[in-house]
Chain A
Amino acid sequence: MAVLNNKKSKVSDKVPSSSMADIAFLLLIFFLVTTTFPKDKGLAIVLPEQAEEVQVSQKNIIHIIIQANGIVDLKRGESPQVQQVRPNDIEGIWRQEVAENDNLIAAVKTHPDAPYKFMLDVLDALHIAGAERISLQVLEG
């Protein structure tokens, strides 16, 4: 009887601490796995090499002119006709035009005082449309 009592009290008198490390490591590994460092993201472009001047025939160029107030004008090749578009429409126009002409180049001309975001809206639309050949210029005059 006395022995039995003794054993019982020995079992219950300390908190089990052997699994604490396991619990801690489980939490540690969980957070290690679920943590993601924010990766840099954006719209990638390739700048031209220095002194690389390529003459392109006007019929292969589609001019996209961004005014200082965000109005986007579209001008095809040598035709003087100017069409006002929304940045969202550029995707469809590009797909349509590139189907007719594989060598098409998008020349994005932005007014020097235009906020950067208007240029990015157009660049975004071109990226969505899968355009590869994009020329970024500043609007002269």
Chain B
Amino acid sequence: MAIKGGLTRKNKASSDVPDSSMADIAFLLLIFFMVTTVFQRDRDRPIVWPVAEATEKIDEKLKNILNIWVERDGSLFINDRPYEMADIAGTIGPLYAASDRALVISIRGDREVTYNTIDQLQKQLVAAGVVRVVFATALEQRMTRERR
């Protein structure tokens, strides 16, 4: 009886493949890829979004959208770096050519920024040859619109 029990135990130890560490291996791979993946995004600037009811999604790949941030005081930021208004055309032009004219410029302006700034920016973009421009807005619900 004792000998038989001993044999049974030995068989049990070798009968199944150890699968308890499989999840650990999978999670190790998962965490590795999560950590090494970099999303090409610039950081959000502190602006108050303008709202519009006709807001629609931009039908373009994320890598073909370039954000130009316009803060309330009129300062401009592209890819987390400040730019002067006069340098915009010279900066955007090569990027636009490199993207095979597929680049969409998203103007992310604070709602209180003066229109003069936006107009100068548009003139810079025209000088750079950019055609497709989006005024980034937040979606406005009809309910809030009625009350205004």
- Give A residues with C-beta under 8 Å from B: 2, 6, 17-18, 20-21, 24-25, 28, 37, 39-50, 66, 88, 110-121, 123-124, 127-128, 136-138
- Give B residues with C-beta under 8 Å from A: 1, 5, 19-20, 22-23, 26-27, 30, 50-58, 62, 65, 67, 70, 106-107, 109-119, 122, 125-127, 129-140, 145, 148
7 closest cross-chain pairs (CB), A and B: A127-B54, A112-B116, A21-B23, A124-B52, A117-B111, A42-B136, A42-B134
Q: Can you name the residue of chain A whose Cβ is closest to the Cβ of B24?
A: A21
**20 pairs from A and B in contact (CB 8 Å cutoff):** A20-B23, A21-B22, A24-B23, A37-B62, A40-B58, A40-B134, A42-B58, A42-B136, A43-B55, A45-B134, A45-B135, A46-B132, A48-B126, A112-B114, A112-B115, A113-B115, A116-B110, A116-B115, A120-B135, A124-B140
Report Cα–Cα, A39/B30, bound state, in Å.
25
Q: Across the interface, which residues of A come within 8 angstroms of B58, CB to CB?
A: 39-42, 44
Q: Across the interface, which residues of A come within 8 angstroms of B23, CB to CB?
A: 20-21, 24
> B31: shortest Cβ distance to chain A, in Å?
11
> A11: shortest Cβ distance to chain B, in Å?
12
Given that A123-B52, A128-B54 are contacting pairs, would A115 and B114 also be in contact in the complex, using a CB cutoff of 8 Å? yes
Q: Across the interface, which residues of A come within 8 angstroms of B135, CB to CB?
A: 42-43, 45, 120, 123
> A115: shortest Cβ distance to chain B, in Å?
5
